[in-house]
């Protein structure tokens, strides 16, 4: 009887493992810093996440004083950012309120950078959908 119970338990564990689903890798980054070291760090994280899991969904949201990171002729990570912006599961979104407050027009944004009406609301929405949250700072 013990053998049957142990065999049944082992079989159930194997079935459980075979049907176990991988937890989706969805992460939203919150960037508010003007610090170029933070900008470089975020791009390194994007690269490392995609290397570990090419199917990961990544969104980087900019507001506050971080707009230099996504503005033409100001960004120290422009080439890398544009490269990753072309990846279908990576997005860079800037808060339209922050753009207005910093006198930035859409034409000044790097290629591939989109806008959202409210950066904080965007982050909260992603968290509500189960996305992980990372505040980029040092």
Give me the CATH code for the 23-136 domain, please. Answer: 3.40.1260.10
| pTM of the complete model | 0.84
Domain-by-domain residue ranges, the chain? 23-136
60, burial (CB in 10 Å: exposed 0-12, middle 13-18, buried 19+): buried
Q: pLDDT tens for residues 1-29?
A: 666 665 565 555 655 554 556 788 999 99
Q: How far apart are CA 126 and CA 9, in angstroms?
A: 38
Contact 130, 91 (CB under 8 A): no
Q: pLDDT tens for residues 80-107?
A: 999 999 999 999 999 999 999 999 999 9
Tokens representing 61 are 């949201």
Q: pLDDT tens for residues 40-94?
A: 999 999 999 999 999 999 999 999 999 999 999 999 999 999 999 999 999 999 9
């Amino acid at each position: 009887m013990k053998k049957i119970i142990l065999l049944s338990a082992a079989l159930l564990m194997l079935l459980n493992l075979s049907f176990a689903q991988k937890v989706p890798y969805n992460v939203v980054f919150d960037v508010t810093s003007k610090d170029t070291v933070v900008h470089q760090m975020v791009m390194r994280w994007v690269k490392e996440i995609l290397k570990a899991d090419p199917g990961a969904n990544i969104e980087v949201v900019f507001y506050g004083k971080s707009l230099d990171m996504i503005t033409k002729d100001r960004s120290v990570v422009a080439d890398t950012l544009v490269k990753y912006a072309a990846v279908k599961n990576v997005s860079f979104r800037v808060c339209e309120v922050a753009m207005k407050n910093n006198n930035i027009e859409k034409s000044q944004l790097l290629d591939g950078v989109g806008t959202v009406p409210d950066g904080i609301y965007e982050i909260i929405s992603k968290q509500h959908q189960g996305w992980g949250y990372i505040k980029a700072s040092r």
